[in-house]
Chains A and B, each alone.
Chain A
Amino acid sequence: MTHEHARLRLKTWSFAVVVVFCNVFGNFFLKRGMPAELATPLAYITVLFHPWVALGVVLLIVWLMMRMALLSWADLSYVVPVTAVGYVLVAVVGKVLLNEQITMKRWTGIGLIVAGVALVSGGSAPQTAHPEPKTAEATP
């Protein structure tokens, strides 16, 4: 049972890291490639072929799939606060790549997010709702 808990925790953490990176960089590239305005409904489609937007969209598709996999075993009330560590990464990316200032207020926010993530991830198992019995999908 403890082995099972440890396995699930490690798997959850690994997926959470990938989910956070895909989300942060997906949104970063998306914002970078977006034009000033999308005038027509068609513009919402054609903008998807802009290279930065396309890269952002690909990362967000990976993010979506990894997140779906994560939610196949982990609680939503665990995944949502824990993946908020992405906001910290956004601030760091902004500072490193865009030379944005991190104000005292933002540092305070970063501290609160890190503390919140630590409480959730350290204070509860990733899975509390009891899953349905395994599906027919064979496990190797």
Chain B
Amino acid sequence: MKWLLIGIIVAATTAGEVLQAAGMRRHGEIRDFRPGAIGRALAVLARNRFVIAAVAAMAVSFFAYLGLLTIADLSFAVPATAITYVLETVLAKYVLKEHVNWLRWAGASLVICGVALVSL
């Protein structure tokens, strides 16, 4: 059960974040943070199909995470889901076409090792 939930969380989180990044990048930089402008931006984003798919995926991930927390400690949940860092960096390069230079790879690798050590 634990590992099934972990699998769901990892898949849904990775898909959700990549879709979210793709959708937001298509929307363009948000510069105006007055309440009215935020409302308008949300109205536009609510029709962005990448964002809609991202929110759906992240809702799945959220409820699976709630379920996981009832049967496992954070010290299990956190490192087990840290694999999303690797998947997201790889997908950022190949799907989102970001320029992942060697400092980013090195930094992301250190972070993954660090997350594992902190939470295991």
Contact surface of A with B, Cβ cutoff 8 Å: 27, 30-31, 34-38, 44, 47, 60, 64, 67-69, 71-73, 75-81, 84, 87-88, 90-91, 105-106, 108-124, 128-129, 131-135, 137-140
Q: Closest CB of chain A to B66's CB: distance in Å?
A: 6
Q: Are B21 and A132 in contact (CB under 8 A)?
A: no
Q: Are A124 and B101 in contact (CB under 8 A)?
A: yes
Q: Which residues of A contact B99 (CB under 8 A)?
A: 124, 128-129
Interface size class for chain B?
35 or more
The reply to whether the CB of B76 lies closer than 8 angstroms to some CB of chain A is: no
Q: Are B29 and A77 in contact (CB under 8 A)?
A: no
- A interface majority secondary structure: helix
Q: Closest CB of chain A to B85's CB: distance in Å?
A: 6
Q: Report, nearest first, the 6 A-B pairs whose CB atoms are least far apart.
A: A123-B103, A109-B117, A112-B114, A116-B110, A109-B118, A119-B107
Q: Which residues of B contact A120 (CB under 8 A)?
A: 103-104, 107-108, 111
Q: List 17 A-B contacts (CB under 8 A).
A: A34-B70, A68-B45, A68-B51, A71-B24, A76-B92, A77-B100, A88-B118, A108-B114, A109-B115, A109-B118, A114-B114, A115-B107, A115-B114, A123-B106, A132-B25, A134-B29, A137-B32
Known: A80-B17, A135-B28. 15 other contacts (CB 8 A): A64-B58, A72-B29, A73-B29, A81-B107, A81-B108, A84-B111, A90-B78, A109-B116, A112-B114, A114-B114, A116-B110, A118-B107, A120-B108, A123-B101, A128-B99
Q: Which residues of A contact B45 (CB under 8 A)?
A: 68
- Known interface pairs A109-B118, A132-B28; A77-B92 also in contact (CB < 8 Å): yes
In B1-37, the 8 Å CB interface with A consists of 17-18, 20-21, 24-33, 37
Q: Are B28 and A119 in contact (CB under 8 A)?
A: no
The reply to whether the CB of B47 lies closer than 8 angstroms to some CB of chain A is: no
Q: Are A129 and B111 in contact (CB under 8 A)?
A: no
Picked from B18, B98, B108, B119, the residue with its CB within 8 Å of the CB of A87 is B119
Q: Closest CB of chain B to A92's CB: distance in Å?
A: 11
Q: Are A131 and B107 in contact (CB under 8 A)?
A: no
Q: Are A34 and B41 in contact (CB under 8 A)?
A: no
- Known interface pairs A68-B45, A123-B104; A110-B114 also in contact (CB < 8 Å): yes
Alpha-carbon gap, A71 to B41, bound state (A): 14
